Structure 1
Amino acid sequence: MFSERTDVGCVDRQSKETTGNAEVSAVWERVRGRLRAELGDDIFSSWFARIELMSIGGGAAELSIPTKFLKSWIQAHYIDKILTRFAEESPGVTQIHLHVRSTMRAKAVDVAARPSATVIELRAGQSSIAANSDGGAAPAQTDGTQLPANPLDKKMTFDTFFVGKSNALARAAAEKVATGPGSAYNPLYVHAAVGLGKTHLIQAVAHAASSRGRRVVYLTADGFMYGFVAALKSHNALAFKERLRGIDLLVIDDVQFLQGKSIQHEFCHTLNALLDAGKQIVVASHCAASDLENLDERTRSRLGGGLVVEMESHDEELRLRILESRLAAARAAHPNFEAPPEVIQHVAHKITANGRDLEGAVNRLLAYATLSGTALTIETADIAIRDLVRSCEPKKVKIEDIQKLVATHFNVSRADILSSRRTANVVRPRQIAMYLSKTLTLRSLPEIGRRFGGRDHTTVLHAVRKVDDLLSRDGTLREEVELLKRMLLD
């Protein structure tokens, strides 16, 4: 009799567990359905298809996500929507816990005993961050009580910055900003293509201002993001904000990489607070403030409200001076190395892209002369630097050519790529074509969207980020995309 009652009890418990699991699964399916209807099939498939519900209990829904990148993206852009949909389907859910599956397997951490996931709490209909992400990178100061700061390069000062017609205005404005408070150029926004010295210039500002006793913080966009996340992690967000707003000069590099709505929101508030307090801001980017399509309009307006200066490509005279300086340093380390004046002039004339290519040219000339034992002439110099010269003359790629090649490669028509079809065999080629259009042409996101059937620029941006994520994880796709690039550029 006892064994029979025990068996019946086991059956009852199993039945209840099965029912409970079924109810949890049903809630999750309804939440997924709401998200799909609200966001559309394309966005849902890109960001939510691989999210799994682990459990619901104690007022919290435990979700597992396959990668740290996806977790960070969901946290930055969609966590509030997920929480709201859960609250609608299961009113007892007031928190969302996000976990990275690989991290969970590696650490085998009991979530209930040692919470390490991102937690969003629902209080009076609003969400607030209550704990940090366990999957992201962190800055050097992880306690959130100290200001984050990226190290300055000791060599990047005004004394080592070469001035020419292309950057004279930017240099003059930078020196004015560095000499003291009260500059009319606030914020100072410097933009230039890769290798033209914008990082050197803004670090020179930081060095000069710091030497005058001013409180200076130099950060890359990543450094700002990691510092803010670290402050949230240690529940010191308010202290982080107050300390950052207590400085005299904030220098931000590569602002185009600033991501995440909450981080951009805080960045904009920081800009406003510093500017309203008369504190100086210096920002560098690869494009004009108005072209920062990943930033919201308020932030773009603030950044463009001061002095915006473009550093253009180096003229030949400036390239010659930079090259002579680099060659002098090479001769100091290798006394037997010699480069005739006509060779130096020839190299300065041939390489027109940026200063980094000039450094590469010096390395190639040094290697060619020391390893081959051959004297440098114009002919041998051409052999040594031919890859750099070729890279300065890229083929102009047309969006139409990209669309045709991608369509042929993936066995669809160009009309399919331009259409509104959302089937998988069309969506992926379309996203890859948009990605290639962004990386291989100078067209803006809105222009690319118009060339792909009148789509919005946000659709193009989503496609670029989606393909970037896939390329980081899928070696086969990465090889396919590299092949397409070579075919388009050859």
Structure 2
Amino acid sequence: MTETIAPLQGSLGEAWDRVRRRLRAELGEDVFSSWFARVEIGGLVDSVAYLTVPTRFLKSWLEAHYAERLQVNCQAELGAVNGVILSVRQVSRDSAPAPVRETVAVRPRSAVAAPAAASAEIRHGEAAMPCERDIVDACGTLLDRRLTFENFIVGKSNQLAFAAAERIAAAPAGSTPYNPLYLHAGVGLGKTHLLQAIAQEARRQGKRVAYFTADRFMYGFVAALKSQTALAFKEKLRGIDLLVVDDVQFIQGKSIQQEFGHTINALIDAGKQIVVAGDRLANDLEALDERIRSRLGGGLVVEVGDLDETLRGKILGGRLAALHAAHPNFHVNPDVVAYVACVVATNGRDLDGAANRLLAHATLSGQAVTLETAEAAIRDLVRTREPRRVKIEDIQKLVATRYNVSRADILSERRTAAVVKPRQIAMYLSKALTPRSLPEIGRRFGGRDHTTVLHAVRKIEKQITEDRMLHDEVDLLKRMLQE
């Protein structure tokens, strides 16, 4: 395999000077001096330009405001540039360049979207010491101590992935129960938590672990080529017991993908474990080399599914309990928790956002969190969609669950108070939320007469005007059915 990286002198340096002149002419001296004067080019690999800046703030500002302009000008002067990666350069005591702590890929609109900021950082040379919640793996990556098996909440959608992850982490060095393990899931469903938990548990057992996000792997390889330590980089990777790679869909560049593929093959042939995560099935990662996709698809492939309502409730409850420990006056009614878990049906990160919004409302307004205030606080987290078509069967199931009876009880002839009340509430909701006629509703409730349904509807209508608790209860059921 041949690896090419343009040196920081000669034609590349001259081309970068031309890029700088174009930016100065387009934006003016003041803007250029403020934002571009300290941008340097580190190299050009596989049509990706690697630029460095001195601070995180400057990096974030350029990505937010000038990403496309950088892309266009680099394409004009550097040739066929398909992407730009900005990173924060660090000053070390020696002169050898080292991978930086934070990199984010900036890609053209037609390319895959840039990955979210990774939870782990790389520490090299004179980089800042990790905080108390971090530990460091064999290749210098910071792992978050909080992301462990102990605090991973298991449900139907992730129990297979969790079991496989635990099995791999507990296996002795040299044992590869599932190799490679490929986890795929959408955003915020817990795959990074599982990968970090695997890495930390394996490390505690004395295994040599290397944990990478895709952008860390890419920049580490580029930095090794620049400093002419590529061989040492490869040997270090091949000497580990467990390789963990997150967001594999973002690995780009022919040379980098080839090296990644060679590393996977070498580790598997040596009986070393590999765990990889992506956002979809390996065969659907069209930008990834076909041989890598084949390798990943040939192992154990497990999907981390969408969070069901029960699991969302557990996750949200855990988040709120943690916030309550830090803010003792912060309380959220179980009905509000149930409502939020029902309507925020996207992912765990949105549940985090919902918990933080509820805390902000409670602490800033000094008022208790009610159903109405919760609805306003999380409005931006609820997906805009067509109103849900409510079915009578759904009403019966929800009411039965809420009142701890069975749907069969509601449809039966039983007339105990524990059954009559939920049956009447379900009839009332069926009349309020569906277009069904009273006779049709009666038939759906065990063949009852329409006058029975009408009596139930009028009774609940009267009671909710007199009983505030029942009013709130029925209102909650309506919200949960309509979301």
TM-score by length of 1: 0.54
Separation in 2 of the partners of 1:320 and 1:132? 44
What residue number does 1:141 align with?
124
Separation in 1 of the partners of 2:294 and 2:42? 27
Quote the sequence identity (%). Answer: 57
* Pairwise CA RMSD: 3.7
> Which of 174, 180, 186 matches 2:165?
174
Counterpart check, 1:66 vs 2:36: no
Separation in 2 of the partners of 1:260 and 1:170? 30
Question: Is the Cα–Cα contact under 8 Å of residues 186 and 307 in structure 1 kept in the other structure?
Answer: yes
Q: What CA deviation, in whole Å up to 9, does each residue of 1:155-184 have, x standing for no partner? A: 000001000000000001101111114233
Q: CA deviation at 1:373?
A: 2.3
> Which of 216, 227, 235 matches 2:209?
216
Question: Is the Cα–Cα contact under 8 Å of residues 150 and 220 in structure 1 kept in the other structure?
Answer: no
What residue number does 2:152 align with?
161
Separation in 1 of the partners of 2:228 and 2:219? 14
What residue number does 1:315 align with?
308
Question: Is the Cα–Cα contact under 8 Å of residues 289 and 303 in structure 1 kept in the other structure?
Answer: yes
Question: Is the Cα–Cα contact under 8 Å of residues 139 and 230 in structure 1 kept in the other structure?
Answer: no
Counterpart of 1:170, as a letter, is: A
Q: CA deviation at 1:70?
A: 12
Q: What CA deviation, in whole Å up to 9, does each residue of 1:169-216 have, x standing for no partner? A: 000110111111423311111111111010000100001101111110
Q: CA deviation at 1:98?
A: 7.6
Separation in 1 of the partners of 2:228 and 2:43? 21
Alignment of 1:165-314 (within 5 A): 165-180=156-171, 181-314=174-307
C-alpha spacing 1:248/1:78, structure 2 compared with 1 (3 Å): closer
Partner of 1:224: helix, strand, or coil?
helix
C-alpha spacing 1:288/1:73, structure 2 compared with 1 (3 Å): farther
Q: CA deviation at 1:140?
A: 4.0
Separation in 1 of the partners of 2:213 and 2:375? 37
Separation in 1 of the partners of 2:203 and 2:271? 17
What residue number does 1:338 align with?
331
Counterpart check, 1:382 vs 2:375: yes
Matched positions, count: 290
Counterpart of 1:177, as a letter, is: I
Separation in 1 of the partners of 2:139 and 2:207? 17
Separation in 2 of the partners of 1:380 and 1:373? 12
Q: CA deviation at 1:276?
A: 0.5
Separation in 2 of the partners of 1:374 and 1:196? 32
Counterpart of 1:293, as a letter, is: E
C-alpha spacing 1:394/1:361, structure 2 compared with 1 (3 Å): farther
Question: Is the Cα–Cα contact under 8 Å of residues 149 and 223 in structure 1 kept in the other structure?
Answer: no
Question: Is the Cα–Cα contact under 8 Å of residues 99 and 219 in structure 2 kept in the other structure?
Answer: no
Alignment of 1:38-117 (within 5 A): 63-64=15-16, 66=19, 75-77=45-47
Question: Is the Cα–Cα contact under 8 Å of residues 142 and 231 in structure 1 kept in the other structure?
Answer: no
Partner of 1:186: helix, strand, or coil?
coil
Question: Is the Cα–Cα contact under 8 Å of residues 316 and 349 in structure 1 kept in the other structure?
Answer: yes
Partner of 1:152: helix, strand, or coil?
strand
Q: What CA deviation, in whole Å up to 9, does each residue of 1:259-304 have, x standing for no partner? A: 1111111000000000000100011111111111111101111111
C-alpha spacing 1:73/1:286, structure 2 compared with 1 (3 Å): farther
Q: CA deviation at 1:334?
A: 1.1
Counterpart of 1:207, as a letter, is: Q
Question: Is the Cα–Cα contact under 8 Å of residues 320 and 345 in structure 1 kept in the other structure?
Answer: yes
Separation in 1 of the partners of 2:48 and 2:317? 53
Counterpart check, 1:150 vs 2:103: no
Separation in 2 of the partners of 1:394 and 1:273? 51
Q: CA deviation at 1:236?
A: 1.3
Counterpart of 1:66, as a letter, is: V
Counterpart of 2:124, as a letter, is: Q
Partner of 1:322: helix, strand, or coil?
helix
Separation in 2 of the partners of 1:98 and 1:72? 13
C-alpha spacing 1:162/1:394, structure 2 compared with 1 (3 Å): farther
Question: Is the Cα–Cα contact under 8 Å of residues 147 and 227 in structure 1 kept in the other structure?
Answer: no
Separation in 1 of the partners of 2:302 and 2:187? 15
Question: Is the Cα–Cα contact under 8 Å of residues 139 and 227 in structure 1 kept in the other structure?
Answer: no
Counterpart of 1:196, as a letter, is: L
Structure 1, unpaired ranges of 5+:
1-53, 80-96, 101-115, 117-130, 396-490
What residue number does 1:486 align with?
none
Separation in 2 of the partners of 1:73 and 1:255? 22
Question: Is the Cα–Cα contact under 8 Å of residues 208 and 242 in structure 2 kept in the other structure?
Answer: yes
Question: Is the Cα–Cα contact under 8 Å of residues 216 and 247 in structure 1 kept in the other structure?
Answer: yes
TM-score by length of 2: 0.54
C-alpha spacing 1:73/1:240, structure 2 compared with 1 (3 Å): closer
Q: CA deviation at 1:72?
A: 8.0
Question: Is the Cα–Cα contact under 8 Å of residues 73 and 260 in structure 1 kept in the other structure?
Answer: no
Separation in 2 of the partners of 1:329 and 1:268? 42
Counterpart of 2:143, as a letter, is: L
